[in-house]
Structure 1
């Protein structure tokens, strides 16, 4: 679940301090009331030169006025002490929550396949290169009109199952060295995300056979639900400790089409991630650091973007690159407005050159789009040494920060 910052449980408005002029008037009113009361109730014939008369006339009223002021001052001081304690506790809780939410995942290796290339694609997308053009669908059906899309050129025949197998083999070849270098005693999990409408059990079996063929140790294999996607990382980072947190995981997403829709893309992405403190402790080289994703509603994009920057430990003026893919038109407009409202550095780039639209380069890569956006942002972060903001949509708009690693890990690799 998303991390929620602690909020005040009650009214935190500080009490009004006692006003000297008001309490001076109150003191004089009490004093005059005491004097009048004493004079009216003093027995006739009783001497007025006694100590008791003057105590009742002046001392007791003065003490009553002072007591009222003292009680008011005591209330004020006690309330301020309580509020200061609650504020300090709230600040500590907030700091702890932010520290927890800022724990990143290390990008240990990555591999991707798309029509524009399999390496150094971030540089090409940033240069506004594109391979999206009208072409015939990859089938012998004259009734299917040409549409703008991109396809993956894969070895072997055009059968769907064999194309998935070719994708898995290429991704695993790129990740093989990094997977073999992982400590054997640390849990390793695999998460597979596939488009709806394909035989998941069959494709899952193909992945497992490819994994086994490379000789990697068994890893728990799970299918990511369509609505989950990147938010699986949020669930991972929600864990406070133990093997559920201190683990390595491979996230694989593949989007292939039998009949590609307009402005679509075929793509495949694999990310090898690990909890960053664990990776550092084991001496593993990282390419980049991936921070906790944030979900955004359409009318709360500014708030979500601010929260993503907070989780990523980055200031708005440091974000000069924003990667986006799989977005709706309204998302793009809202993100552009949010970057201006929050004074992101990307909003000041010439003709918004810092906004890198993966869809404009290759088309919408479906379920692979969010993971491809993350991979390209990580690649660009490693190249430029600057933090990146990544935006994608899977049921909801998701934002996350990708940070470059420190100097000790800048030699990070792509598989």
Structure 2
């Protein structure tokens, strides 16, 4: 009996100990794996919430060759403003120009539409305290001397009557919105964007335009009712179909929004090759647009507006929503280093 207890009992006891140790190792590894999975899910959820941040569009104003009274309907209807006419350089070229009194000096031709845009935004800013922080992004495409531009801007700002003090921002294009959503989403400051192209060096196929937009943070701004929401823009780094398609789908996913729910698409700031690539991507993604319906090509209507192109598209899409339109998709040529184009979605405020 003792022999069998030793011969069988001890090995059995040893196997039980080994099995117990293996079970403990398995339970520990399983617990660690579940902990990593939970941590990963929490991190993915955090990154998704961060990616799906959006900016309030509080006000927009734009001036183009269509004139102040016909901006919204003119851009929606595709009324072309491109004409063969004398440029500011006194050379004949096909382009569009701001509706101004051409008897005025070059600076005055810029001051008037610039002051008008700032004045429109001042009406909304008047609803906020004078000490409300205001971050200013000013982008320009022109061939005028810097000192003359500084004087024109100072005069236009004085005429607008905006009371808030501004802090200048560095950067360009939708990359500024992308960075703002990452770093300043809890700021009390509003973001004021003013972009214009005036008297460009390359006139043929160009557009003179002045556009202003006022953005607010959803977490800190509740005084003004937003007219729309601009969701995080997504960059297509190269002029490659794969990059374009990836950026398009990611921009829709940031909302989230199905392609079939898009009401209109706005394209701006691309050359002929880029425009062809964009339309191919739209078609493959299933966006319900075509060259004859739902697709608004601002370059074909106005010409290339330089650094103002992406902001012009955002402003036009926001005005379309204000007039009762649905979700608007925007694809604009990159105006910042490292991005070939940007895709973004503007949604109605009640969504």
TM-score normalised to structure 1 length: 0.74
Does the 8 A contact of 1:388 with 1:401 survive in 2? yes
Cα displacement string for residues 277-336 of structure 1 (whole angstroms, at most 9, x for unaligned residues): 3332x2x12211112222221242233223322333323332232211001334333333
The one of 286, 297, 300 aligned to 1:360: 300
CA change 1:181–1:368 in 2 (3 A) is: same
Counterparts of 1:231-310 in structure 2 under 5 Å? 231-239=175-183, 245-257=187-199, 260-280=202-222, 282=223, 284-298=224-238, 299=240, 300-310=243-253
TM-score normalised to structure 2 length: 0.86
- Structure 1, unmatched stretches of 5+, are 1-49, 408-415
Question: Is 2:59 aligned against 1:109?
Answer: yes
1:135 Cα offset (Å): 2.8
Cα displacement string for residues 183-233 of structure 1 (whole angstroms, at most 9, x for unaligned residues): 2332123321111543334313322222223432252252655xx222222
CA change 1:160–1:221 in 2 (3 A) is: farther
1:80 Cα offset (Å): 2.9
The one of 74, 83, 91 aligned to 1:124: 74
Does the 8 A contact of 2:122 with 2:161 survive in 1? no
1:120 Cα offset (Å): 5.6
Q: Distance in 2 between matches of 1:366 and 1:309?
A: 25
CA change 1:147–1:87 in 2 (3 A) is: same
The one of 294, 307, 314 aligned to 2:257: 314
1:270 Cα offset (Å): 0.7
CA change 1:230–1:325 in 2 (3 A) is: same
Cα displacement string for residues 322-380 of structure 1 (whole angstroms, at most 9, x for unaligned residues): 21100133433333333344x34x2x445562222110111111111111001011112
For the pair shown, which has the larger CA radius of gyration, 1 or 2? Answer: 1
Say how many residue pairs are matched: 344
1:276 Cα offset (Å): 2.5
CA change 1:214–1:359 in 2 (3 A) is: closer
The one of 390, 402, 413 aligned to 2:330: 390
Cα displacement string for residues 123-156 of structure 1 (whole angstroms, at most 9, x for unaligned residues): 433433322233333454xxx3x33211112136
Cα displacement string for residues 17-59 of structure 1 (whole angstroms, at most 9, x for unaligned residues): xxxxxxxxxxxxxxxxxxxxxxxxxxxxxxxxx3333542x44
